[in-house]
Chains A and B, each alone.
Chain A
């Protein structure tokens, strides 16, 4: 089990990580979700031993790893651009971590088979497609049977469709290998697709850490909500009869509006002006200005900008935020 305690790191005067605590249980996959520049990559490099933290400890099964250099940690890593060795072929790349243990046609073929690239041993790495390179990188990292796998935006440089497909494969591969992993990404879909637990990293601090459902239902802060892609956030007032839009009498707060729960009202409802309307597959996406902010809603009929619509916003559509 991996434990990070009070990890802090800085580049010169710039604080990159502040008091980060994180645990990864045996065969658990933890996704670290953060925007670019939030310190995700530095966090992985600290765990890998490639960056020395300014404070805090990295422990494996209770042993402090401060004096264990990267090559003795037995932590595998998959890099954002895969970092395949360009002077070696696919087989040699996968064999790199096997050292003397490698025998021809043995483990290398097996590992490549496992990621669906059997027979690719003699291919040059610059002849691989993005998806193939990603799988070779995974096979290479898994071949030496690491006790923890670190994945730095492993799908980041692939296109969207491929990303969705490979995220599922990745989870299956990690599950089968029974190897715990830290998966760093900026994409909430990817984090939900792979993770047992999700940590939200914002400005170098972990602002939320827990099972995906809990994080989704109670993000806590506005920054956390935005990381999760929940961007419809409005001003509300909490009164005795519940939450209402806009700042009025009562406790003022910010709340997420879950778009999927909002409907166009047949009549009545909360009035708002359509600011913008665009056609997206399932219907017309309207941006409606209401008291307290803008709300996105799907309508079956096109409504011209400038017109007024009524919105049916049930209480369960609101998720109150802290602060």
Chain B
């Protein structure tokens, strides 16, 4: 790729990030710094706020450890064994990750809320938050650690066994060390997701429990204390960046060069007693993963006593929340966000895939930053920054732009590995067979790029549909999205309102699942982070 082509490709993503990421972040910084007496000093001496920071950190650590521990058995089974229905089981294990946070929150309320199915009210306790975080992030571990585990050479474990190592010693001395980089990657992603968890905590935490994200929202929307919100957002950004740096240092030091095997060679049928173990692990994980959404569906259908669709019918005639326009808004915004995310993400992905070197790595990191920065920070930044030179805050494009900013890293991450897999060799082969550069592009690159675009589009669409953290800052009272409408139903007392929240959650879940199923169909076989 020529320098000129690279600069052209980089222009749109760079301008987009400057306008909608860097500028809002700088505005947050300015807001935090310009208060009389200094907002930093005020926040850092406020024991309530420090308590929030401390809680945010430790719940993220505990959530991460629990998630990894509980996900490992299923990761092992899905990566190492071949059994009927394996790809279905994999798809099911991914379900929670693609569920919108608001849906997860509602599902856990349906399970262990004030009128929960299990009869214990854990609303407002740390337990339900930890449970929801584990539920939500199991898929991250299954996908990332399983992605490596499925490609580990099984002969290494066989070699350990033949050298006299027990199954446990084989695991701790061979398997675990080889999985360490993948475990670190998965743990850091889970840590970042749970550190910046917003929707789940806002819904399940009740009035007493807040993470930094929730506190930023409260300071902004309820207390109008923008400087304190800005300081909290900055603190969180520093934490996120520190975690990312620590992670990349760790990766540099602990990456082990090893031969990876195609997954179909490493998986085997369970033998003898293993069958029971595999079945138990699949059953247990299945219950964990399908339980909450299952309960949500069941309770939405039994909200008014007997089995029926009253809750769904009530959605159409609600006087306070116009559900029809919320669905319309969500789909419209998702479409807009998809177009923007592809327009920004695809050129960036092509560029990152084609060029290796320091600049390309920096560019890659820059594009990933919005993901680590959290949706709430994005929403808050938009709110305080985008009033000049044109006041975008009242415009309908602001929400799709915010969603695209959150979705772009997913588009890039899903596309780069696939684009890199188009080896230069394939192009050379096409050229040697007499294809002109134009024909090579048409027959080799284009089919893959369009496939990548489909995957990226579905991701962006799904992310936008479920986006809550940024939208809650930016949605106008008359123009809610589905997640905002659900949150409003949850905020109103009464059985019927909760029924409507559950019904609308089910609808959102179905729309999201449809988009994700499109991803699974278009996915190319091979390794990939998501």
A contact set with B: CB distance below 8 Å = 11-12, 45, 48-52, 69-72, 74-77, 79-81, 83, 85-87, 96-97, 99, 126, 140-141, 144, 150
Contacts and interface: CB of A to CB of B under 8 A. Distances in A.
Contacts of B162: 48, 50, 70-71, 75-77, 141, 150
B259 interface: yes
Given A79-B158, A81-B155, A86-B257, A97 B164 contact: yes
Contact of B159 (A74, A79, A87): A79
A71 B165 contact: yes
Given A71-B161, A87-B174, A87-B178, 10 more contacts: A50-B162, A52-B271, A71-B162, A71-B163, A83-B155, A85-B159, A87-B177, A97-B163, A99-B164, A140-B159
Interface centre among B158, B170, B178, B257 (most CB of A within 10 A): B158
A316 to B, nearest CB: 45
Interface residues of B, number: 25
B267 to A, nearest CB: 12
B445 interface: no
Given A83-B153, A86-B256, A86-B257, A71 B164 contact: yes
Contacts of A48: 158, 161-162
A76 B158 contact: no
A52 B163 contact: no
B357 interface: no
Contacts of B158: 45, 48, 50, 70, 77, 79, 83
B163 A144 contact: yes
14 contacts: A49-B161, A51-B271, A69-B161, A71-B166, A72-B164, A77-B158, A83-B153, A83-B158, A87-B178, A96-B163, A97-B164, A97-B165, A126-B257, A150-B162
Contacts of A83: 153, 155-156, 158-159
Interface in B256-280: 256-259, 269, 271-272
A99 to B, nearest CB: 6
B314 interface: no
B160 interface: yes
A76 B257 contact: no
A52 B275 CA distance: 13
A144 B160 CA distance: 12
Contacts of B177: 87
A126 B259 CA distance: 10
Given A11-B269, A52-B271, A87-B256, A141 B163 contact: yes
Nearest to A97: B163
Contacts of B256: 86-87
A174 B166 CA distance: 26
- Smallest CB-CB A-B distances: 3 pairs: A97-B163, A83-B155, A77-B162
Given A12-B269, A87-B256, A70 B161 contact: yes
A323 to B, nearest CB: 36
Nearest to A49: B161
B307 to A, nearest CB: 42
